[in-house]
Amino acid sequence: MSLDPIALATALINCPSVTPASGAVFDLLEEALRSLGFTVHRWVMGEAPDGPTENMVALRGQGGPHFAFAGHLDVVPPGDGWAGDPFDAVVEDGRLVGRGANDMKSAIAAFVAAIPAEQQNGTLSLLITGDEEGYATFGTPRIIDWLNERDIKPDMILIGEPTSVDRLGDTIKIGRRGSVNMWIDVPGTQGHVAYPHRADNPVPKLARVVDALSALHLDDGTEAFPPSNLEFTAISTPTNASNVIPASATAQLNIRFNNLHKGADLVRLVEETAAAAAPGATVRARISGEAFLTPPGRLYDLVVSAIREETGVEPELSTSGGTSDGRFLIQLCPVVDFGLPNATMHKVGESAALEDIRALSRIYGRILGKVFAQSPL
């Protein structure tokens, strides 16, 4: 059975699946995979706010090599300003428009459409989660648990995140920076602004914390990674009244860090810096993932050669940009991210060029051919 990647991508987009996702969008993908001879396993975990999240593992074949494709069916909220319904995909000027067209339902459709009807040897799997855009509490880490419990271990994993920049194939991600979110709370004593001696204003204290943390120099980067960066994303107090000194003040920050650091070490650094600038300050942290780097090897060669053959482009091997579920999957085996040009991901009017989707499917097909020895490297 030959599947059309545009038709499948359109159908997936038309299933609303704001993170965390479950249900109809997984039903649709399961139907397509069963038609190709896959055994499909699905389960739902967790409760709000991080759940319920659905996960899927689809398997075909047995033995080695075991090649896995990983991706996510959840999308970010659409936001306001769309010309039409973001969950009713349309084609405009040669582009498929809809939430998830770029990140990353079209890549999932492209991969499924690339799967050959028959497979002579080895194992092919798809690892699909409904929570990559959120905290992934019940997402890919739980897929890894499922695989480990059954002693299933891929030899290599390709993630279909949109990594290309100016044209399809110009960039693949061979690693990602880690990410940690932190919330700093500085206590005070509420009071009237006309009587500051009867209150303890936490805002100037928090300002000193922000200033101290902003002055930190984390590193200069490495050969593979850009410098780590600390960015404040929110500052707030529990009152909006103009004549009240607040009882507390809070700042939120994110650090994107390279492989010179571990998330826990950065949390300790922020705790110590905050305590020195404002005694009594407390820090709450959530580490989304550690930095990782896939060493050169067969997976590099497979992806690069397939891109070169299809497009004539020599891809840049990059670790820049945001994180991906590769931060979890690297526990299993080598991981590379490669997918569509990413200029419109998460934007109002998110889209992907039809020809890019078709070409991506052909590249994925070349990779599969090489993996299962239907053509040489």
Residues tagged active-site: 74, 132
Identify whether the C-beta of residue 224 lies closer than 8 Å to the C-beta of residue 319: yes
What DSSP element (H or E) covers 326?
Answer: helix 326-329
Kindly give, in sequence order, each residue whose CB lies less than 8 Å from that of residue 19, ignoring residues fewer than 6 positions away: 74, 75, 76, 130, 131, 132, 133, 134
> Strand locations in 93-137, DSSP E?
95-97, 122-129
Please give the single-letter amino acid code of residue 273.
T
End-to-end Cα spacing for the chain = 26
Q: In the structure encoding, which two tokens stand for residue 302, read together? A: 């497979």
Listed residue (339, 363, 377) closest to 103, CA to CA: 339
Identify whether the C-beta of residue 34 lies closer than 8 Å to the C-beta of residue 26: no
Phi, psi angles (nearest 5°) of residue 123 = -120, 135
Identify whether the C-beta of residue 366 lies closer than 8 Å to the C-beta of residue 301: no
